[in-house]
């Protein structure tokens, strides 16, 4: 049976019925309580069968994604992480209606990864943070100063002087969120209360009596409810959510998170409004279930994507093996190692951003010199199976005939 909100019980029956149900829920052995106010009530959640099922589903899908990631050749990890981090940053910007291009993000990501220089400053710190998530080496916030540092890095170059925090760490003035017609959310009114709310967020994040994934979702709700900054709360909150997920799931488990939230944006915001409604008396059970469902969807999307790309990768390897054993191969007269170079470019077509790969990466993957790699790429370009897409730096991708040669024409 679907979990009924206290608001729905009030409207169907009366206030007394809703009050009795609230008392029963708060006193249940399945209830979790937080010292955090939502309006005039403290926050609580029931561990319902739906929430237990969502947690199990997340762990099963995470195990599948982890195994698929382990099965992929190490050489494609870099390509895939790069393209997915670009999509993750682009998606989190889209949710906030912040204009950014994938090319812009790609440039600062490469610079943050030591693969080139970029004069762009926008998103540079954000790129560095997401790279640290992928490496499994992020800095976990331990206090309020750390939370402010995360905010500064996530929003670097994007906050106007009028919207910058004006308190010791956070804002001192009010903040209201409108849907175009009415106020749908008011952040915590003073910096003193902001500090108190965020301290509860950090405290409960370390409370091992609460299931970890529920702590993750509760922390996300508290941060967004407090709304400690004038601008940039959404981007910072989603990064913190991804960061928390890396503490209990694999380093790649968050890769489709912002894209899944973007696809479910209306549902996501409705869940917040539901939890904050005065008639629901601080009950965040529906919010917890909804966000766990979105996290499960993100992991399902990641697993499906990895499964598809693994199948396509195996197809590339099969075709390369066939070409190596064929006297009639169209690349039979090319320098030794040309097919291996074609394989690297084919892998980039599946896992790389825009399906491209640069000469440095080709050489590094083959553990050869750039001169060695350049000679093979010239042979592939001359054969019509590979195209040179840029000169500085040299980048390559498969042509239509090249995709056909590797069995990817319909992929």
The answer to whether the annotation marks 238 as part of a ligand binding site is yes
Q: Give the CA dihedral 356, 361, 362, 363, nearest 10 degrees.
A: 160
The answer to whether the annotation marks 237 as part of a ligand binding site is yes
The answer to whether the annotation marks 235 as part of a ligand binding site is yes
The answer to whether the annotation marks 236 as part of a ligand binding site is yes
The answer to whether the annotation marks 269 as part of a ligand binding site is yes
Active site residue 185: no
CA atoms of 138 and 314, how far apart (whole Å): 33
Instruction: Considering the candidates 220, 227, 277, 319, report the single residue annotated as catalytic.
Output: 227
Structural contact between residues 151 and 243, judged by C-beta atoms closer than 8 angstroms: no
The answer to whether the annotation marks 400 as part of a ligand binding site is no
Structural contact between residues 219 and 213, judged by C-beta atoms closer than 8 angstroms: no
Q: Give the CA dihedral 217, 222, 224, 230, nearest 10 degrees.
A: -150
The answer to whether the annotation marks 282 as part of a ligand binding site is no
The answer to whether the annotation marks 233 as part of a ligand binding site is yes
Structural contact between residues 323 and 331, judged by C-beta atoms closer than 8 angstroms: yes
Tokens of 96: 């906030």
Picking from 266, 293, 94, the residue whose alpha carbon sits closest to that of residue 184 is: 266
Please give the C-alpha separations between residue 69 and each of 72, 129, 256, 260, 353, in angstroms, as whole numbers.
5, 21, 14, 20, 18
Please give the C-alpha separations between residue 331 and each of 165, 365, 396, 406, in angstroms, as whole numbers.
61, 20, 17, 12
The answer to whether the annotation marks 244 as part of a ligand binding site is no
Binding residues for ATP: 231-238, 268-269, 280
- Known binding-site positions: 231-238, 268-269, 280
Residues tagged active-site = 227
């Amino acid at each position: 049976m679907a979990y009924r909100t206290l608001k729905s019980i009030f409207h169907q029956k009366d206030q007394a019925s809703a009050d009795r149900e609230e008392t029963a829920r708060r006193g249940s052995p399945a209830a979790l309580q937080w010292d955090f106010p939502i309006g005039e009530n403290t926050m609580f959640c029931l561990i319902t069968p739906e929430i237990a099922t969502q947690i199990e589903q997340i762990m099963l899908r995470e195990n599948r994604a982890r195994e698929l990631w382990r099965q992929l050749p190490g050489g494609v990890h870099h390509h895939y992480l790069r393209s997915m981090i670009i999509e993750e940053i682009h998606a989190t910007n889209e949710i906030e209606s912040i204009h950014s291009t994938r090319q812009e993000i790609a440039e600062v990501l490469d610079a943050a990864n030591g693969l080139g220089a970029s004069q762009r400053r926008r998103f540079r710190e954000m790129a560095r943070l997401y790279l640290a998530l992928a490496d499994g080496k992020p800095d976990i916030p331990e206090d309020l100063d750390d939370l402010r540092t995360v905010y500064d890095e996530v929003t670097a170059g994007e906050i106007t002087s009028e919207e910058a925090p004006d308190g010791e760490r956070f804002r001192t003035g009010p903040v209201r969120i409108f849907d175009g017609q009415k106020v749908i959310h008011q952040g915590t009114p003073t910096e003193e209360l902001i500090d108190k709310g965020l301290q509860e967020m950090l405290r409960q994040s370390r409370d091992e009596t609460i299931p970890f994934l529920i702590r993750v979702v509760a922390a996300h709700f508290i941060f967004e409810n407090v709304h400690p900054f004038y601008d940039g709360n959404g981007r910072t909150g989603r990064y913190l959510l991804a960061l928390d997920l890396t503490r209990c799931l694999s380093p790649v488990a968050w890769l489709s998170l912002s894209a899944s939230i973007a696809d479910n944006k209306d549902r996501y915001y409705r869940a917040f409004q539901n939890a904050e409604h005065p008639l629901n008396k601080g009950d965040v059970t529906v919010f917890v279930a909804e966000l766990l469902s979105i996290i499960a969807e993100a992991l399902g999307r990641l697993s499906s994507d990895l499964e598809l790309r693994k199948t396509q990768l195996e197809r590339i390897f099969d075709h390369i093996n066939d070409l190596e054993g064929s006297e009639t191969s169209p690349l039979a007269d090319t320098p030794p190692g040309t097919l291996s170079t074609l394989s690297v470019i084919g892998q980039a077509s599946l896992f790389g951003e825009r399906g491209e790969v640069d000469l440095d990466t080709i050489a590094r993957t083959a553990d050869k010199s750039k001169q060695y790699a350049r000679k093979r790429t010239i042979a592939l370009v001359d054969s019509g199976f590979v195209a040179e897409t840029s000169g500085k730096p040299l980048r390559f991708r498969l042509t239509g005939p090249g995709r056909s040669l590797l069995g990817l024409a319909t992929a």
